[in-house]
A and B are shown apart, each in its own frame.
Chain A
C-alpha cells in the first residue's frame, strides 16, 4: 500500500470538527480541577454513563435499525461479571471489565442468533423476552448471583502502574473512567457512520432485502453491530456497578434499563453521532434534578432556601419517569428526529430568514 493512502484522512473527516471535539473533551476533563463538589461530579458521571449506554445502543438500534429493547441483558451481564469476579475471586475490575466484555460478546452471539431470525415487532418482543429470561434466572439462582439480595461491593483495590497509582476513593477516578468510556463509544459511533462496515449497517436499516441482494449478509452484519453494541454496553454496566457499589437483578436487568437506552437515542436523535449525547444530557439533567435537586444548590444556581428546590424534593422526587414518558410521546408525535432534528430545523429556518433579509444577492448598484 502506498504511503499516501495511509496518510489520507478517512472519509467524512473534517479537521475543524475534530479539533472542536478534542477541545470539548479537554475542557470537560478540566472540570474536576475546578470543582470537587460531589453532586456536580455525580451529575457528570451519570451523563457520561448515559452517553456510553445510549451511543452503544445507537450502533445496533440507530445505525443498523434493530430496535432492541433488551439491552439490559448486556448492561447487567457486564455489571454482574465485574462484581462477581471482584467480590468472590478478587479479580481487579480493570481485568474484570475485560472479561465482562468477553462475556457480553458471547451472550450477544447467542441472543443475536435467536432474535435476528425475526423482524420488526417480533424482534422487539424477542429481545425483551431474552432480557427478562436472564433477569428471572438471576433472581432465581441465588447460589450464583445472591438473588434479589444483590451484591454489595466491599472495596476496589488501588490501580498501580509504574508511573502512577489510582485509589478509587471519591468521585474523581470515576469521572475520568466514565469520561474515557463515553469518548471511546462516541468515537466508535463516528467510525460506524463513516466506515464501510457502518455503511452495511445503514444499508440494512434502510432496506434489508435490497442490502441482501447487493451481497451484504444481513444476519452476519446485524450480529456484528450487536456485538459492538453489547461490548460497550457491558463496559458501561461494569463501571456503573463499581460506581454505585451495588447491583441486583432489577437494577441490572430491569426492562427500564433497556427502555432508557432507547429513550436517550429517540429524544436526542436516533442514528446520529451527537443524538445520544444530547439525549443523555436532557434525560440525566431531568431525572437527577427531580431525584435530587440539591445539586442546583451546589452548582450555585439556586440557594438552599429556594422554594423550587423544596417543592421538587417534596412532590416530584418520583416523577422523573413520568416526564420521560411525556417527552417520548411529544418527541414521537412532533419531533421524530429528536432534539437534534429540532435544532437543525431551527438553524435552517434561521439561515433562510437571514438570507431573505439580506435580499436577493448581487443586484447591480446602477439599478438603484
Chain B
C-alpha cells in the first residue's frame, strides 16, 4: 500500500508540471485553433535558458523563472508575429507542418550551438528529499509543484478577472464575435502565443533540476502535452490542469504496476481510447 501511495504522490507532483505544459498548449489552441507541434521545443529552450543562467551566473533555477518566463514570452510573441500569424487561415495540415518545421529549427539550432551532450543542472537540493507520513517527498519536485500551483492560480485569476484575460477568453470562444465587440484579436493571438510559450518555458525551468537537458528533449513532451490537452478537452484550462495530474499519476502507477519501460505506452493507449470514446475530453464541450 505504501508503494501505491508513494507512486501516487510522485505522480501528482510530476503531473503538476505536465499540467503547466498542457495549459500553455491549450491556450494557444483555444485562441488560434493552431496545434503547436513545437511546444516541447519551447520547453527545451526554457531548460537551456535556465541551465545557462545557472552555469554562467549561478542563478538558482527557481529564481531564474523571473528571467526565463519573460524571455520565452517575448520569443513566443515574436514567433507568432513572424510565422504563425501568416497561416491562421491556412489548412490545418500546413499549420502543423509549420510548427513542426519551427520545432526542428529550434532543436537543431540548439544542437549546433551546444552539441547534443546531456547537460545536468545540479543544485544543492537536486536529490534531497524529506519524509512525510512515511512517504519520501523529493524536494525539487515539491518546489516545482508548489510553483506550478501558484502560477496556475495566478493564471486563473488573470483569465477570469482582468480585462485582457476576458478578452483572451472571448477570442477563444468566438473569434469573429470578439472582433465585432472591439477586441483586438491579433493582439490577443500574440499574447496567447507568448503566454503559452512562457508556460512551456516555465515548465522547462521547473524540470531542469531533475531532468537531463539535451536538444531533443522536447519531442516526448510535445506528445505528452497533446495527451494532457485532449484528456481535459481542447481549449479548457481547468481540463488541462486535471489532465496533467491524471497523466502524471497514470505514468507513475504504470511504471510500478506494469513496467517502467511501458509507462509512456500506457499513456498513449489511454490517449487513443479517449480520442475514440470521449473525443471532447473529460471537461470539453465540443470538438470543433
Contact = CB atoms under 8 A, between A and B. Distances in A.
Interface of A: 67, 69, 114, 117-118, 120-122, 124-126, 128-130, 132-133, 136-137, 139-140, 255, 259, 262, 266, 318-319, 321-322, 324-329, 332-333, 336
Contact of A326 (B35, B100, B101, B268): B101
B66 interface: no
Contacts, number: 108
A69 B35 CA distance: 14
27 contacts: A114-B272, A114-B276, A121-B96, A122-B275, A122-B287, A125-B35, A125-B230, A129-B227, A130-B272, A132-B264, A133-B268, A133-B272, A137-B262, A137-B265, A140-B265, A259-B100, A262-B97, A266-B97, A319-B108, A319-B112, A325-B103, A326-B105, A327-B101, A328-B97, A328-B101, A329-B102, A332-B90
Closest 3 CB pairs of A and B: A325-B104, A328-B101, A322-B108
Nearest to A134: B265
Contacts of A136: 261-262, 264-265, 268
B interface secondary structure, majority: helix
B261 A321 contact: no
B261 A322 contact: no
B271 A129 contact: yes
Interface in B237-274: 259, 261-262, 264-265, 268-269, 271-272
Contacts of A255: 219
A363 B97 CA distance: 51
Q: Which residue among B86, B112, B259 has the maximum number of chain A CB atoms within 10 Å of its CB?
A: B112
Interface residues of B, number: 42
Contacts of B52: none
Contacts of B86: 333
Contacts of B264: 132, 136
Contact of A322 (B96, B105, B226): B105
Nearest to A316: B112
Contacts of B151: none
B116 to A, nearest CB: 7
Contacts of A121: 35, 92, 96
A124 B223 CA distance: 11
Contact of B261 (A67, A133, A139, A329): A139
B104 A336 contact: no
Contacts of B98: 328-329, 332-333
